[in-house]
Amino acid sequence: MADRPYNVLFLCTGNSARSIMAEALINQWGRGKFLGLSAGSHPKGAVHPIALELLKKMNFPTESLRSKSWNEFAAPGALPLDFVFTVCDNAAGEVCPYWPGQPMTAHWGVPDPAAAEGSEVEQWLAFRSAFKMLDNRIKIFTSLPFDALDRVKLQERLDSIGKTHPPSDPTQ
C-alpha cells in the first residue's frame, strides 16, 4: 500500500454535497499520500451549487468533482480501495457493493446540508458546518501514524474519528 497513494472513497446517498466536499478536502490535506474519491448509492447527477461555491471560495479545485454512482468503484478493473467512509446515515445502512482491495471502513456521519431548510444564510451555515466537521475529521485521519498502527488499532482510530466534532468557534 505504501508504494502508491491510499485510495479513499467517501460515500453518501446522493453524492452531491458531503462526499464531494470530503473528496476535495482529502485531496487537499492528503498532499499526494491520499487519493480522494466520492460516490453515491443513488447519485443526484450534479454537485450541489452551494457545495461547489463553498469549495471555490475556500480555494479548492472543483473541476474534476462530479456526482457518480458507487458502481464505478465496484466494477472490474476499478481502483483498489484502501478506505471507504460513509458520511451519511442512509448510505451506512445500505448494502454496499464488493469493494476491490478489501478496504477498511468506518461511518463518519455528518448532517446533510443539502436537506437544510430556511433562508439562504441558514443553508450556507449548514454547508459550512458540514465542511468544518469533515475538515476536522480528514485532518485527523491524514495525520495518523499509519506505519505504527496495526489493523485493529487503525480500525479503532477510524471509528473514533467518526465521533469527533470540530473545535468550537469562540466567535459564534
Low-confidence ranges of the chain (pLDDT < 70): 1-2, 90-96, 166-172
Domains of the chain: 6-161 (3.40.50.2300)
Burial class (CB in 10 A: 0-12, 13-18, 19+), 85: buried
Per-residue confidence (pLDDT) for residue 95, from 0 to 100: 64
Per-residue confidence (pLDDT) for residue 76, from 0 to 100: 87
Per-residue confidence (pLDDT) for residue 50, from 0 to 100: 97
Per-residue confidence (pLDDT) for residue 92, from 0 to 100: 54
3-class secondary structure, 60: coil
Predicted TM-score (pTM) of the model is: 0.91
Which of the following is catalytic: 8, 12, 133, 138? 12
Per-residue confidence (pLDDT) for residue 171, from 0 to 100: 43
**Which set of grid coordinates corresponds to residue 13?**
446517498
Active-site residue flag, 47? no
Per-residue confidence (pLDDT) for residue 99, from 0 to 100: 78
Active-site residue flag, 96? yes
59 in the Ramachandran plot: left (φ > 0), alpha (ψ -120 to 50) or beta? Answer: left
Q: What are phi and psi of 149, to 5 degrees?
A: -110, 130
Long-range contacts of 124-128 (CB under 8 A, 24+ apart): 124/50, 124/54, 127/17, 127/48, 127/50, 127/51, 127/54, 128/54
Which of the following is catalytic: 96, 140, 144, 149? 96
Active-site residue flag, 12? yes
Per-residue confidence (pLDDT) for residue 102, from 0 to 100: 84
CB 92 within 8 A of CB 56: no
Which of the following is catalytic: 8, 50, 88, 104? 88
Q: Which residues contact 123 (CB under 8 A, 6 or more apart)?
A: 50, 113, 116, 117
